[in-house]
Amino acid sequence: MTGWLQTVLFWTSPAFPVGAFSYSHALEWLVETGQVKDRADLEAYIRALITFGDLQADAAYLAAAHRCDPDFLPEILEDAAALRGAGELASESTDQGRAFVKALAETGRTYPRLEILTATAPDRTGGLMPHSVVFGAAARDASIPIEAAVESWLHAAAANLVSAGQRLVPLGQRDGVAAIAGLKPDIAAAARCALQTRSDDIVSSGVAIDMAALFHETQYTRLFRS
């Protein structure tokens, strides 16, 4: 177990070079407009994303990329790339995906599923590869169990947004720890849901957050890229 456990911990660590720290997933606009002003608001925002928003959909695509026959990987890739409701959210996902693939390439290890995605992405998505899809594919290649891959990815996404909230609201360290602890049951439930969702049934309904991302594009001052 130790080998794959250390791998998934490394891939979801803030130290892994995907640049997650530079994205807020529209949180910056929500803080600017007073819609997220304390820890409770931050938790509600993240809970919405992992329950019915695009992070919920991402988790399901991750699971699909992990368990599907390799021949279906290009279809999963194309569907995931097309799901975004705002350009900044699309860039957030695909920029991290590109950085993730580049980081793994530098290790010298072979990831057959990633090679399929890299080869087909130019024709299917213009070269765009969502982070969740490449993470799921690589996790399968690295023998990381699907349950661990999905839940750890969701936890990392939630923790990154808590970190952004600490800087934006702002919140102290105690509130940050409490927010992550408060979200644990929701992360576990979202992971179970993702594992049970068929690829044809994946949807996202975070309209308010998509709108916030659109407004963020023209926000006067910005700390984050999304």
- Locate the domains of the chain by residue range: 36-216
What is the per-residue pLDDT across 137-175, written as a single tens digit (0 to 9) for each? 999 999 999 999 999 999 999 999 999 999 999 999 999
Q: Distance (Å, rounded) from C-alpha 211 to C-alpha 132?
A: 22
Q: Distance (Å, rounded) from C-alpha 188 to C-alpha 33?
A: 30
Burial of 2 (0-12, 13-18, 19+ CB in 10 A): exposed
Q: Distance (Å, rounded) from C-alpha 195 to C-alpha 66?
A: 10
Task: Check if the beta carbon of residue 163 is closer than 8 Å to that of residue 219.
Answer: no
The listed CATH number (2.40.50.140, 3.40.50.300, 1.10.4190.10, 3.20.20.100) that belongs to domain 36-216? 1.10.4190.10
Q: Distance (Å, rounded) from C-alpha 177 to C-alpha 117?
A: 36
Phi-psi region of 57 (alpha: psi -120 to 50; beta: other; left: phi over 0): alpha
Q: 109-130 in b/e burial notation, b at 16+ Cβ within 10 A?
A: eebebbebbbebbeebbeebbb
What is the per-residue pLDDT across 51-110, written as a single tens digit (0 to 9) for each? 999 999 999 999 999 999 999 999 999 999 998 888 999 999 999 999 999 999 998 899
pLDDT of residue 108: 84
pLDDT of residue 206: 83
